[in-house]
Chains A and B, each alone.
Chain A
Amino acid sequence: GIQVEQSPPDLILQEGANSTLRCNFSDSVNNLQWFHQNPWGQLINLFYIPSGTKQNGRLSATTVATERYSLLYISSSQTTDSGVYFCAVVETGFQKLVFGTGTRLLVSP
Chain B
Amino acid sequence: EPEVTQTPSHQVTQMGQEVILRCVPISNHLYFYWYRQILGQKVEFLVSFYNNEISEKSEIFDDQFSVERPDGSNFTLKIRSTKLEDSAMYFCASSGGRSGGYNEQFFGPGTRLTVL
A residues bordering B, Cβ < 8 Å? 30-31, 33, 35, 40-43, 45, 48, 50, 86, 88, 90, 94-102
Given A30-B102, A95-B100, A100 contacting B56 (CB threshold 8 A)? no
Q: Give the contacting residue for B31; candidates A35, A45, A95, A98; CB below 8 A.
A: A95
Chain B, 30-69, CB within 8 A of any chain A CB: 31, 33, 35, 37, 42-45, 48, 50, 55-56, 58
Decide if B33 touches A96 in the complex (CB within 8 Å). Answer: yes
B56 contacts A43, C-beta separation under 8 Å: no
Known contacts A41-B89, A43-B107, A95-B56; A100 and B42 CB within 8 A of each other: yes
Contact count A vs B, C-beta below 8 Å: 64
Partner of A33, one of B89, B91, B104, B110: B104
Shortest Cβ-Cβ A-B pairs, 5 listed = A95-B101, A48-B104, A96-B45, A30-B102, A99-B43
Main secondary structure of the interface of B (DSSP, over half): strand
Q: Give the docked Cα–Cα distance between A106 and B82 (Å).
A: 35
Residues of B within 8 A of A42 (CB): 107, 109-110
Residues of A within 8 A of B50 (CB): 95
Residue of B at shortest CB range from A88?
A: B43
Closest chain-A Cβ to B20's Cβ sits at a distance in Å of 20
Q: Do the beta carbons of A94 and B44 come within 8 Å of each other?
A: no
Write the chain B residue with the least CB distance to A98.
B45
| Measured CA separation A33–B106 after assembly (Å) | 10
25 contacts between A and B (CB under 8 A): A30-B99, A30-B102, A31-B104, A31-B105, A33-B104, A41-B89, A41-B110, A42-B107, A42-B109, A43-B107, A43-B110, A45-B104, A45-B106, A86-B42, A94-B56, A95-B33, A95-B55, A95-B100, A96-B45, A96-B48, A96-B58, A97-B45, A98-B45, A99-B43, A101-B42
